């Protein structure tokens, strides 16, 4: 009950809308922030959010999930190469939308896959998120050595064609992704909950974002995706996400059931 008042306050004051997110999830994140900040009750955190802008943005960071990896679910990327790349090859120009890109790992993964398939030069990747701090980090394309080990393994599991280290330059404890991977990525602030269609695209990837939304919001965002795809365009969801409860299910055919890859019917 009280959490919903807090979310209402965040929306009214800052325009970020978490009112249709999973309540159990939001509850955990808010309580964690309260524990870290020594706040004991919800009404107290609500007034702090309204008075203290810095604290409010801290809470926004807490509510924005930036957990991601390069080539997360290698089987998914194998399926992309097998089932989706041949479709993309039929277009003279390709537009791809990574919705909810967080710190950019999936957009870089896509850029690598497209380079290997000789498609990157005719592609524009729109990588969007509502979290500007995450977008700024994505733009830099700097990742810690610690995670690169894991990404390298994922890259090998998805049967990448080169050595993964050829895609970045090492520097001390981090790596910088090659400039050639960044050149066709457009990083943009877009909020799936409150913003609308901004382009017609051939491929949308939105993986493990919709699981945070309630049914109504899922349906609304599915509609946004449907309206953003060209006929024959491809939609990729997370491994536990589906179109089952969406009214749009029959408007897609299934390209890969297990990897949740769907094709919009003409």
Per CB under 8 A, residues contacting another protein are: 22-25, 27-29, 65, 67, 208, 211-212, 215, 238, 240-241, 245
Give the residues across from 263 on adjacent strands: 234, 253
- Indicate the residue among 32 and 43 with the shorter CB distance to another protein: 32
Taking the complex as a whole, the smallest distance from the CB of residue 63 to another protein amounts, in Å, to 11
CB atoms within 10 A of CB 107: 28
Structure letter (DSSP) for residue 87 = H
Instruction: Say how far apart CA 135 and CA 76 lie, in whole Å.
Output: 24
What DSSP letter does each residue of 175-201 carry, written as one string?
EEE-HHHHTTEEEEE--TTT------E
In this complex, which beta carbon is closest to another protein, that of residue 67 or of residue 257?
67
Whose Cβ is closer to another protein: residue 212's or residue 262's?
Answer: 212
Question: In the bound complex, what is the minimum distance in angstroms from residue 122's beta carbon to another protein?
Answer: 32
- On whether the CB atoms of residues 209 and 99 are closer than 8 A, the answer is yes
Task: Report the residue number, 198 or 245, with the smaller CB distance to another protein.
Answer: 245
Provide, rounded to whole angstroms, the least separation between the CB of residue 212 and another protein: 7
Nearer to another protein, 183 or 240 (CB): 240
CA distances from 41 to 19, 90, 124 (A): 19, 57, 47
User: What is the smallest separation between the CB atom of 35 and another protein, expressed in angstroms?
Assistant: 11
Tokens matching residue 235: 């939609």
Between 26 and 88, whose beta carbon lies closer to another protein? 26
Supply the minimum distance, in Å, between the C-beta of residue 29 and another protein: 8
Q: Judging by beta carbons within 10 Å of its beta carbon (0-12, 13-18, 19+), is residue 67 exposed, middle or buried?
A: exposed
What is the SS3 assignment for 40?
coil
Min dist CB 111 to another protein, Å, is 22
Question: Measured between alpha carbons, how far is 17 from 211 in angstroms, rounded to an integer?
Answer: 16
Going by the DSSP 8-state scheme, the letter that residue 163 receives in this structure is -
């Amino acid at each position: 009950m009280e959490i919903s008042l807090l979310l209402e306050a965040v929306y009214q004051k800052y325009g970020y809308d978490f009112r249709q997110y999973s309540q159990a999830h939001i509850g955990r994140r808010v309580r964690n922030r309260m524990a870290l900040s020594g706040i004991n009750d919800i009404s107290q955190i609500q007034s702090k959010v309204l008075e203290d802008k810095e604290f409010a943005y801290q809470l926004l960071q807490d509510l924005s999930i930036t957990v991601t990896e390069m080539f997360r679910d290698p089987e998914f990327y194998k399926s992309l190469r097998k089932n989706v790349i041949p479709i993309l090859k039929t277009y003279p120009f390709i537009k791809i939308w990574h919705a909810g890109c967080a710190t950019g790992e999936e957009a870089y993964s896509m850029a690598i896959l497209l380079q290997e398939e000789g498609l990157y030069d005719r592609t524009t990747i729109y990588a969007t998120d509502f979290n500007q701090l995450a977008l700024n980090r994505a733009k830099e394309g700097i990742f810690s050595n610690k995670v690169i080990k894991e990404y390298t393994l994922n890259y090998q599991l998805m049967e990448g064609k080169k050595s993964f280290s050829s895609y970045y330059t090492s520097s001390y404890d981090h790596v910088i992704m090659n400039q050639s991977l960044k050149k066709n990525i457009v990083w943009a602030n877009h909020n799936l909950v409150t913003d609308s269609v901004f382009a017609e695209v051939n491929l949308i990837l939105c993986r493990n974002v919709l699981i945070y939304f309630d049914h109504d919001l899922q349906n609304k965002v599915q509609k946004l995706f449907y309206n953003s795809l060209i006929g024959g365009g491809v939609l990729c969801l997370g491994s536990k996400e589906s179109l089952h409860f969406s009214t749009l299910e029959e408007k897609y055919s299934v390209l890969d059931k297990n990897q949740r890859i769907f094709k919009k019917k003409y």
